[in-house]
Amino acid sequence: MVLLDILKALVLGGIEGLTEFLPVSSTGHLLLAGHFLGFESKGKSFEVLVQLGAILAILLVYSYKILSILLGLRNNPLARRFVAAVLIAFLPAMLIGAVAYPFIKAVLFNPLIVCTMLIAGGLVLLAVEDLAPRPTFDDAMDMPLRAALGVGLCQCLAMVPGVSRSGATIVSAMFFGASKRAAAEFSFFLAMPTMAGAFAYDLFKNYKLLEFNDVALIAVGFAAAFVSGLIVVRGFLHFVSKHGFVLFAWWRIVVGVLGLAGLYFIG
């Protein structure tokens, strides 16, 4: 392991934490950055396994609320319904992801697909501001079970890198009646089992391929993702509630266009 590899892992881990909870596609950003930095991980595992840092960041930020929900499972119907909503939303990704895993890694982890999806997703976010219906609830705890299933099905679209897991879940939640803040917060909670499941499944599939240097680089990326993830999670809800998604839409479009230009001129 050389210093340059460590620096690349730091940069990529930082990108993961900064983009995981934003509607811009963390995996898409990692694949593009890794492509142009010349960073290649065995089985594309780095891009999945560093998500553990972002998972721990959101667990830390929401630790008090998670604890209160867990303590309320016995006596609080609202807490039980919310946990059921998160699990129902997680189920489609768990089932489809397990079946489609080889195809996703072999075919869809492609810079050209990423750039195309970044641009398309940016256009969708621009349209959401005008097309989303008036919110009917402003608390993620009030997510209806039927709506949670719909959000979970839409989350499966994010198996295509560049679509964005948070973008798909936030946008779909808004169309099911959630406010921007409630949609983003439900997306945060849904990220916990989804990302943990992806981490565990990828590790199970690829742990035999990983050598000491690979694990060390993943650890570096994990630490960077944890720190940068903390920064984003703490400020994202307030920013979205006040400013919406236009900034993220244009960011996606610009990155997608620059990525296509880079692929054309650099390869």
Contact 250, 40 (CB under 8 A): no
Residues in the chain: 267
Task: Delimit the domains of the chain by residue range.
Answer: 3-265
Average pLDDT over residues 88-95: 95
User: How far apart (Å, rounded) are the C-alpha atoms in residues 166 and 21?
Assistant: 6
Residues 6+ apart with CB under 8 A from 191: 20, 21, 54, 55, 58, 165, 166
Encode pLDDT of 126-162 as tens digits: 988 788 889 999 999 999 999 999 999 999 999 999 9
Whether residue 1 has pLDDT greater than 70? no
Whether residue 48 has pLDDT greater than 90? no
User: How far apart (Å, rounded) are the C-alpha atoms in residues 66 and 97?
Assistant: 26
pTM for the whole thing? 0.89
User: How far apart (Å, rounded) are the C-alpha atoms in residues 246 and 128?
Assistant: 9
Contact 214, 42 (CB under 8 A): yes
